[in-house]
A and B are shown apart, each in its own frame.
Chain A
Amino acid sequence: MLDLLWHGLVNVAQWKYMLPLFAGTFIGVIGGSLPGVTITMTVIVVLPFTYGLDPLAGLAAMTGVYVGGSTGGLIACCLLGIPGSPASIATTFDGFPMARNGEPGRAIWLGVWASVWGGLLGALFLVFLTGPLAAIALEFGPWEYFSLFVLAMAMVAGLAESSLLKGLISTAIGLLITVVGHDPIGSVPRFTFGSDFIGDGFPFLPVLIGIFAFAQIMTDLEKLNLPRGHAVEALTGIKLERFSHLKVNWEIFRQPFQLLWATIVGLIIGILPAIGGSASSVMAYDQAKKFSKTPERFGKGHPEGIIASEASNNANVSGSLMTIMAFGIPGDAVTAVMLGAMTIHGIQSGPLFISQNPDIAYGIYAAYILAHPCMLLICVVLMPLMMRVTSVRMAVLAPVVLVLCVLGAYALNNTMQSVYVLLLFGVIGYVLVKLGFPLAPLILGLILGDQIEINLVRAIMTDPNPWLFLTRPISGGLLLAAVLSVGLAIWQHLRHQKRVIGEEEPDF
């Protein structure tokens, strides 16, 4: 394994891979530092540039965006008091107070170094655990795959903040989109209404870009000319104070358990499907506060808060990569785009991915590892530029990003049809967001829809006994976990409602 990893590192260290990796990391850091631009949106913007590249070069660029974006968000957190990307949300809690206390350099570099160490620790897990996980997945038959996908969707729907019901409906909408077009077994057209436009179904990437990018940009535009809701004073136009990188690293390694635990939290959240970096950042922050000897200092510029949040959101990337490489399930929206890019290049992710494509698999590990020194170098050299970038106006960003979205859809197969699909799902995505339907379950349904159907039909064709889904131990266990996941979500929702009612009672 180490031989393959070394081969991967040497391979990716070539210019043809290193250049896209470096460029991707740079764009990721910039995209991450722009408030309102998520990592998903940044990776969507980069996507069309990867179509013409070698598959590994394209995936290296996307991995770079992912790593860079997870770190870039902390700059806006520390200087503006708002997260540059959702994955950095908990960095704001202590990064901004520390910067306001006259230590913006310490706040930013604690975050950058914590990202590097958290990410590299995560890489250890990524390299050594993905193979064994894939080996477990190899034992799966169609029953287990079907149940695993159902569990993934149940978990994501259950995590929907607005309501479990809307999460479940959102999942169903995602699944429904995949059944439009020819069925995967007999190629019978379904729900096409005789239209050539949807005769082949909806292409995955334009749907994904439309739903995510449009919904995000349009939601941002709603707030464009409105006064800011919070009265914090942004620290723009400032210079970083003099400080020692050695001292910053000492602060991080003084409490190795905190770093390791934040990494593990990020990793686990990353492995769980479609939860994303924001949850890992907040959960690691919460854990750090619970384990801290000085919890009262959290929220006032405590270094432990920044370290936990940033180490966790970078380790989250390795967890997401593990899930996509071992099971073929995207850990979040960014890996969903990567999955789409892999499909374009004819690469099938899943348990056989590592054994069938060792060059690409170990190349991704290598790209993930090398993205961290790249990101560090970019931060060291370009920090003043990045601090200026946070003030780029949405009025400039939105049209440029939308042009790149259109290009991303068009360049997929050089037809306007994909662009029309993009616009259609842009509207649908925005409407769903405004109605309070979470998009993550929809995307997961969209990605897993075909696989769920294929595995369901394959299982029935192998043995028509439907009870096998329950009586096969792994499949039954996964379905039980899915039921428990939904049950837990209902219980939490009811408990929350009860608490809200309890809090409201004194007013009446």
Chain B
Amino acid sequence: MSIGRDGIAGLVLLTISLVLLVQSFQLPSLPIVPVGPGFYPAIVLSFMAAASALLVVQDVVKHRAQVQAGVLDAPRRNYRLVVIAFAIAAAYVALLPLLGFRIATVLFVAALQAALDPPKSTRDWALLVAIALGTAAVSYVVFERYLLVLLPRGAWTGF
């Protein structure tokens, strides 16, 4: 029995639903309320478990038909940029409380621009740096000075 992407997603969701469903039955009930705190989650999770199981079944049937018809070679997309973008965004979020909003934002905007469209000339680099500095400066002024939002300060830099 072979399984496709939908089937794997269905299995993961089914597992999550069942684990949480068991937990929902263990939630303490309240004397004044006729239904406990686990009542509604149990309905949602039962529904999700049933739908996920159906998705697995549907995928197995469909996948078998596709294997027989030989239509599984879908063109692959390049996800390199997406992975890099997520990694840079994660690094930004991690560095925000350490470097502070201003430094982290300059680095993030510059790094992501460079990753998405590598600069080829001095002019490109200058533009990249200007956009990075401009984004950090404008958002800092608008949010911290005008909207009075205290943006994160860096634990390492104090800035």
Chain A residues close to B by CB (< 8 Å): 48-49, 51-52, 163, 165-166, 168-169, 172-173, 175-176, 179, 183, 185-186, 188, 190-191, 214, 217-218, 221-222, 224-226, 393-396, 398-400, 402-404, 406-407, 410-411, 414, 416, 419-420, 422-423, 426-427, 430, 435-437, 452-453, 456-457, 460-461, 464
Task: Decide: A400 and B135 in contact? CB cutoff 8 A.
Answer: yes
The answer to whether B55 and A51 touch across the interface, beta carbons within 8 angstroms, is no
Chain B interface bracket (under 10, 10 to 19, 20 to 34, 35 or more): 35 or more
Q: What residue of chain B has the Cβ atom nearest to residue A174's Cβ?
A: B44
Closest 10 CB pairs of A and B: A395-B117, A172-B48, A183-B37, A395-B116, A399-B112, A52-B147, A188-B37, A399-B109, A186-B30, A179-B41
Q: Verify A423–B81 contact, CB threshold 8 A.
A: no
CB distance from B16 to the nearest CB of A (A): 8
Q: A190 CA to B20 CA in the complex, in Å?
A: 10
The docked-state distance in angstroms from the alpha carbon of A398 to that of B113 is 8
Would you list which residues of chain B between 83 and 110 have a CB under 8 Å from chain A?
85-86, 89-90, 92-93, 96-97, 105, 108-109
Neighbour of B27 across the interface among A51, A188, A218, A460, CB < 8 A? A188
- Chain B 47-84 interface residues, beta-carbon cutoff 8 Å to A: 47-48, 51-52, 54-55, 58, 77-79, 81-82
19 contacts between A and B (CB under 8 A): A49-B147, A52-B146, A52-B147, A52-B148, A163-B58, A165-B54, A169-B52, A185-B33, A218-B82, A395-B113, A395-B116, A398-B85, A398-B112, A399-B113, A399-B132, A400-B109, A423-B93, A435-B6, A460-B34
Nearest A-chain residue to B88, judged by Cβ: A399
User: Out of A173, A224, A411, which one reaches B147, CB within 8 Å?
Assistant: A411
Contact of A169 among B33, B48, B77, B113 (CB under 8 A): B48
- CB pair A456–B40 under 8 Å, yes or no, is yes
Does the CB pair B113–A423 fall under 8 Å?
no
Is B97 a contact of A416 with CB atoms below 8 Å? yes
In the assembled complex, the CB of B130 is this many whole angstroms from the nearest CB of chain A, namely 11
A225 nearest CB neighbor, chain B only: B81
Q: Let me know if B105 and A461 touch, CB within 8 A.
A: no
Contacting residue for A407 out of B35, B132, B139, CB 8 A: B139
CB neighbours (8 Å) of A394 from chain B are: 116
Q: A172-B44, A190-B41, A222-B79 are in contact. Are A410 and B152 (CB under 8 A)?
A: yes
Interchain CA distance A58-B9 in the complex, whole Å: 39
When distances are taken between beta carbons in the complex, the residues of chain A under 8 Å from B35 are 457, 460
User: Do A416 and B34 touch (CB < 8 A)?
Assistant: no
A419-B89 contact given A52-B147, A165-B55, CB 8 Å threshold:
no
Interface residues of B (CB under 8 A from A): 5-6, 9, 13, 20, 23-24, 27-28, 30, 32-41, 44-45, 47-48, 51-52, 54-55, 58, 77-79, 81-82, 85-86, 89-90, 92-93, 96-97, 105, 108-109, 112-113, 116-117, 131-132, 135-136, 139, 142-143, 146-152
Do B89 and A426 touch across chains, with their CB atoms under 8 A apart?
yes
Provide the residues of chain B in CB contact with A406, threshold 8 Å.
92-93, 96
User: How many Å from the CB of B145 to the closest CB on chain A?
Assistant: 11
Asked whether B58 lies within 8 Å of A224 as measured between CB atoms, the reply is no
Q: Is the CB of A416 within 8 A of B96?
A: yes
Q: How far is A372 from B47 in the complex, measured between Cα atoms in Å?
A: 44
How far is A165 from B51 in the complex, measured between Cα atoms in Å? 6
**CA separation between A221 and B147, bound complex, in Å?**
31
Residue of A nearest to B109 (CB): A399
